[in-house]
Amino acid sequence: MSEQEIKVPDLGGADEVEVIEIIVSKGDSVEEEDPILTVESDKASVELPSPGTGKITNISVKVGDKVKEGDVVGTMEVGGAGGGDDAKEEADDKSEQASEAASEAKSGDSSADKAEPSKPAAKKGGGSRKETVKVPALDGFDNVPVIEINVAEGDSIEADDALVTVESDKATMEIPAPYAGKVGKILVSEGDKLSEGDDLLEMTVEEEGGESDDQAEAEPAKEAKKDEAKPEQSKQEKAAPEPQGATYEPPAPGTKVHAGPAVRKLARELGADLTRVKGSGPKNRIVKDDVQAYVKSQLQQAQQGASVGTGSGIPGVKLPDFSQFGEIEKEAMSRMMSATATNMQRSWLNVPHVTQFEDADITDMEDFRKAQKAAGEKKGVKMTPLPFMLKACATALAELPQFNVSLDMDKKEVIRKKYIHIGIAVDTPHGLMVPVIRNVDQKGLWELAAESAELAQKARDKQLKPSEMQGACFTITSLGGIGGTAFTPIVNTPEVAILGISKAAMKPVWDGKEFQPRLMLPLSLSYDHRAVNGADAARFTTLLSQLLGDIRSLLL
Ligand code: CAO
């Protein structure tokens, strides 16, 4: 066992570099070549590798410190068979390698000299020409894997925009566009290993004002400086990748991602999209902790089911500053509004909805209902159309039990309910509430009228107990007292169907000989198409229509 200093290697001519990330902590066991910390000059970010295998005993610098060649940044215990002089020698070798890497990654004067700009053969024609962009000198690296393709076919790009990002084990570099123009066919894929001179992609380059052949050929040379692979610090993320996971903040076009190779590697391993990770390091640099915190929050949200409430990977809606258009006022959402919003979105995103429409002839039902007015006054109960709907739905649920289920998609089970409890959506000043009437099939119309009126009043008075809002198998939402001809209600999950009722209206109905004025009630049945098929939905609404068309059948 021996203690070894961890020193900053030759930085390829850079005087001082800033420590932007400390990757290890005291006590960490590291393998030889594991990154210890990341330093960044104005040209490159480079990870300083561990000079040996052992345990970190001290890190004597902090993020933001400036270091130069030879500075001691920490100490480590190296030991075992490879200890002593051998280990030291080996460590010195590594240190040298690191300095070479740093020197190579630094795309300053020396590498500019090395950079051999690719000079693709220009094919001229019309006002534009086709170019095949080749991989320039990669600062001494060979066979470097492509970790990101930053452009897509058809993109219009400026000269110097990042085309692809490659990553060696020492540095991340971008290959810039040698010209402004349009991206054609991309000739490489992520994971491909690139070396100088390989074909990268095709481009259509606009020629301005009838450019001469000489000028056209001179152009790539003019871009020679830009044609080097650039370190990742100037990276511009162009394409917004497919959303994944929970809360999604779409990156603004041109969002810069600052992250070192180790962080990029970690993000790739965890499937984290760095354009969505907020960097907490200097200049918004993304450090390992940021990636880990991001992944943790995504997992938590997915587990809590909040993902659907907040986007489920669907791009969020960016709000403009509305005050620029006129006067505004902001008010915090009530808990109920926020809970309703979450539930609605959860249902809408989880359930494949289909809505089946039907008109029920309620002319006779309404005659009967109106005839109950005096009786209702005696009982102190108002008979509205709702109890008839409740009764008809209870009958339909009993006859078509596939509507009285919930799905457990995790266990791949259908849960059938042997009871018929129906929720009624109630519009209240503080939001939508859904009290539940139990055992509707066992109750008479007056009982249902009284109970629904009582529960609706309790909802408006905020007097409902939680137990009075639980256990529904199905929901009725009636907008009939307000208006409208049809709507597509959202299934109140984990139920699998909901009946929307719109305003009844007199309509001419053909009876086979002539048109008759009939009071028609529009029904809109939304259902979860995973649980219920379309034919059953049509059966359900047809049955409802028959039951409401001849309420005597409700007695059967
Ligand atoms: N067609 C024509 N008239 C209708 C009708 C219909 N489908 N349904 C009710 N009416 C009439 C009633 O007969 C009553 O008229 P009269 O006073 O002349 O008898 C009037 O409209 C008001 O009825 P109501 O709405 O007070 O009573 P209800 O039992 O039909 O409904 C309730 C109770 C709680 C469902 C209702 O008050 C309510 O809150 N509806 C809104 C539900 C809602 O917001 N749904 C949307 C959820 S999704 O955002």
Domain of 520? 352-555
Structure tokens at 436: 């539940």
The verdict on residue 217 lying in a domain is no
pLDDT at 81: 44
Q: Are both 408 and 533 inside the same structural domain?
A: yes
Q: How far is the CA of 549 from the centre of ligand 1 (A)?
A: 19
Q: Whose CA is nearest to atom 25 of ligand 1?
A: 481
Nearest atom (ligand 1) to Cα of 428? 39
Distance CA 397, CA 476 (A): 12
Ranges under pLDDT 50 in the chain: 81-125, 209-228, 230-245, 247-254, 306-311
105-51-6-285 Cα dihedral, nearest 10 degrees: 40
Q: Are both 303 and 380 inside the same structural domain?
A: no
- Are 346 and 495 contacting, i.e. CB atoms less than 8 angstroms apart? no
Nearest atom (ligand 1) to Cα of 482? 21
pLDDT tens for each residue of 324-361 = 999 999 999 998 899 899 999 999 999 999 999 999 99
The answer to whether the Cα torsion of 397, 398, 399, 405 is positive or negative is: positive
Distance CA 368, CA 374 (A): 12
Q: Are both 471 and 529 inside the same structural domain?
A: yes
Q: How far is the CA of 185 from the centre of ligand 1 (A)?
A: 61
pTM: 0.54
Distance CA 437, CA 397 (A): 14
- Are 463 and 392 contacting, i.e. CB atoms less than 8 angstroms apart? no
Distance CA 401, CA 497 (A): 12
Q: How far is the CA of 376 from the centre of ligand 1 (A)?
A: 17
Nearest atom (ligand 1) to Cα of 481? 21
Q: Are both 202 and 243 inside the same structural domain?
A: no
The verdict on residue 320 lying in a domain is no
Q: Are both 180 and 260 inside the same structural domain?
A: no
Q: Are both 184 and 248 inside the same structural domain?
A: no
Give the CATH number of the domain where residue 291 resides.
Answer: 4.10.320.10
Q: Are both 499 and 369 inside the same structural domain?
A: yes
| Ligand 1 pocket mutation pick from 344, 355, 384, 427 by most atoms within 8 angstroms of CB | 384
Matching residue, tokens 């490879």: 82
Q: Which residues contact 101 (CB under 8 A, 6 or more apart)?
A: 46, 168, 170, 171
Q: Are both 295 and 398 inside the same structural domain?
A: no
Q: Whose CA is nearest to atom 22 of ligand 1?
A: 481
Provide residues with CB under 6 Å of ligand 1: 384-386, 424-427, 432, 456, 477-481, 489, 501, 503-504, 521
Q: Are both 72 and 134 inside the same structural domain?
A: no
Instruction: Give the C-alpha distances (Å, rounded to integers) separating 107 from 18, 19, 196, 233, 555.
Output: 16, 18, 15, 12, 88
Choice among 353, 421, 430, 529 that is catalytic:
529
* Catalytic residue check, 529: yes
The verdict on residue 329 lying in a domain is no
Give the CATH number of the domain where residue 167 resides.
Answer: 2.40.50.100
Give the CATH number of the domain where residue 511 resides.
Answer: 3.30.559.10
Q: How far is the CA of 474 from the centre of ligand 1 (A)?
A: 18
pLDDT at 17: 86
Q: Are both 371 and 469 inside the same structural domain?
A: yes
Nearest atom (ligand 1) to Cα of 382? 19
| Ligand 1 pocket mutation pick from 434, 478, 491, 544 by most atoms within 8 angstroms of CB | 478
Q: Are both 370 and 514 inside the same structural domain?
A: yes
Q: Are both 502 and 424 inside the same structural domain?
A: yes
The verdict on residue 101 lying in a domain is no
The verdict on residue 44 lying in a domain is yes
Nearest atom (ligand 1) to Cα of 502? 7
Query: Which of 278, 307, 336 lies at the terminal end of a domain, its last residue?
Result: 307
pLDDT at 421: 98
pLDDT at 304: 60
Q: Whose CA is nearest to atom 16 of ligand 1?
A: 384
Q: How far is the CA of 388 from the centre of ligand 1 (A)?
A: 12
Residues in the chain: 556
Domains in the chain, number = 4
The verdict on residue 88 lying in a domain is no
Query: Which of 78, 96, 115 lies at the terminal end of a domain, its last residue?
Result: 78
pLDDT at 246: 58
Q: Produce one character per residue of 189-218: b if its CB has 16 or more CB atoms within 10 Å, e if not.
A: eeebebebeeebbbbebebeeebeeeeeee
pLDDT at 546: 97
Nearest atom (ligand 1) to Cα of 501? 7
Q: Whose CA is nearest to atom 7 of ligand 1?
A: 480
pLDDT at 441: 97
Q: How far is the CA of 412 from the centre of ligand 1 (A)?
A: 38
Q: How far is the CA of 386 from the centre of ligand 1 (A)?
A: 7
